[in-house]
Amino acid sequence: MIAFNYETEFQLHNEKNTSKWIETCIEKEGFELGEINYIFCDDAYLHKINVEFLQHDTLTDIISFDYTLGKLVGGDIFISVERVEENAKEFNVSFENELHRVIIHGILHYMKYKDKTEGEKELMRSKENECLEILDKN
């Protein structure tokens, strides 16, 4: 089950299609959908979580708490809509494209993809792109 929660005025346009897309990406990797909660918020909200739980005094676009058990994917994914907007401008992509990339980025972490080294970042970006292609086909 995927739940979308809002701590800001932002609202996803089509939660049902987004949920189906996320589940398709999970199944494509040989995993199963568990319980995933997305929480869309602003910079201040996510900064507070970053400081309180991770001791990082920085702004970020996403923080994910992983509750995956074996192949059952689950967790809480906090997304700063403000950071996504800024990053979309910086990377010269649409807000929707950047939002979907961030949405699936958290899921890929749950399926053990990392992004600390250059090689890990390349693989993560490749997997993000594969999932974005699935979304574009729907």
Residue type, 79: I
pLDDT, position 74: 97
Where does the pLDDT of residue 54 fall: very low under 50, low under 70, confident under 90, or very high at 90 and above?
confident
Which residues, other chains included, contact 96 with Cβ-Cβ below 8 Å and sequence gap of 6+? none
What mean pLDDT is predicted for residues 73-96?
A: 96
> Does the pLDDT value for residue 133 go beyond 80?
yes
- Report the distance separating Cα 26 and Cα 127, nearest Å: 11
Mean pLDDT of the chain, nearest integer: 94
- Report the distance separating Cα 127 and Cα 16, nearest Å: 22
> Does the pLDDT value for residue 102 go beyond 70?
yes
Q: What is the pTM of this model?
A: 0.92
Write down all domains in the chain, each with its CATH number in brackets: 2-137 (3.40.390.30)
Where does the pLDDT of residue 99 fall: very low under 50, low under 70, confident under 90, or very high at 90 and above?
very high
pLDDT, position 138: 63
- The two three-digit tokens of residue 36, written as one number: 């995933």
Residue type, 17: N
